[in-house]
Amino acid sequence: MNYNVNEKGYYGEFGGAYIPEMLYPNVEELRQNYLKIMAEESFQKEFRALLKDYVGRPTPLYFAKRLSEKYNTKIYLKREDLCHTGAHKVNNTIGQILMAKRLGKTRIIAETGAGQHGVATATVCALMGLKCIVFMGEIDIERQAPNVARMKMLGAKVVPAISGSKTLKDATNEAIRDWINNPVDTHYIIGSVVGPHPYPDMVARFQSVISEEIKVQLKEKEGKENPNFVVACVGGGSNAAGAFYHYLDIPEVGIIAVEAAGKGIDSGESAATSALGKVGIIHGSKTLLMQTNDGQITEPYSISAGLDYPGVGPMHANLFRSGRGEFISITDDKAMQAGLELCKLEGIIPAIESSHALAIFENRKFKEEDVVVVNLSGRGDKDLDTYIKYFNL
Partner 1 sequence: MSRIKEKLKQNKKLLSIYFTAGYPKLEDTVEILEQLEKSGVDMVEIGLPFSDPLADGPTIQASSQVALKNGMTTNHLFEQLKDVRKTVSIPLIIMGYFNPMLQYGVENFCKKCAEVGIDGLIIPDLPLAEYQEHYAETFKKYGLINIFLITPQTSEERIRQIDATSEGFIYMVSSASVTGSSEGFGEEQEKYFQRISSMELTNTLIVGFGIQDSKTYTQATSHTNGAIIGSAFIKMILEKGLYGISEFVSSIRKV
CA distance to 43, 241, 265, 289, 377, per residue, from 245 (Å): 20, 6, 28, 22, 15
Which candidate, 284, 261, 209, places its Cα nearest to that of 50?
209
Instruction: Give the binding-site size for partner 1 (rule: CB under 8 A).
Output: 36
Beta partners for 328?
A: 258
Which stretch, 65-73, 90-98, 180-188, 363-371, contacts partner 1 (CB under 8 A)? 180-188
Give least dist CB 282 to partner 1, A: 7
Cβ proximity of 3 and 322 under 8 Å:
yes
Segment 224 to 243, residues that bind partner 1, using CB under 8 A = none
Q: Which of 68, 78, 80, 111 is catalytic?
A: 111
CA 190 to chain centre: 10
Crossing angle of helices 89-102 and 41-50, rounded to 10° = 140
Q: Which of 89, 101, 169, 334 is catalytic?
A: 89
Please indicate whether residue 42 is annotated as part of the active site.
no
Give least dist CB 16 to partner 1, A: 7
Give the contact letters, 269-308, x = binds to partner 1 (CB under 8 A), - = no: ---------xxxxxxx----x-x-xxxxxx----------
- Reduced to 3 states (helix: H, G, I; strand: E, B; else coil), residue 255 is strand
Q: Give the residue with the Cβ less far from partner 1, 41 or 294.
A: 294
Give least dist CB 364 to partner 1, A: 33
Residue 146: is the preceding peptide bond cis (ω within 30°)? no
Segment 118 to 177, residues that bind partner 1, using CB under 8 A = 163-164, 169-170, 173, 176-177
| Contacts of the segment 156-163: beta carbons below 8 A, 24+ positions apart | 156/118, 156/121, 156/122, 156/125, 156/132, 157/132, 157/133, 158/118, 158/134, 159/133, 159/134, 159/135, 160/136, 161/135, 161/136, 161/137, 162/138
Which candidate, 257, 375, 361, 354, places its Cα nearest to that of 306?
354
Q: Give the residue with the Cβ less far from partner 1, 167 or 270.
A: 167
Q: Give the residue with the Cβ less far from partner 1, 162 or 216.
A: 162
Q: Give the residue with the Cβ less far from partner 1, 198 or 280.
A: 280
Residues in the chain: 393
Give least dist CB 291 to partner 1, A: 7
Give least dist CB 173 to partner 1, A: 6
Segment 5 to 44, residues that bind partner 1, using CB under 8 A = 16-22, 24-25
What does the binding site for partner 1 look like in residue numbers (CB under 8 A)? 16-22, 24-25, 163-164, 169-170, 173, 176-177, 180-184, 278-284, 289, 291, 293-298
Catalytic residues: 89, 111, 377
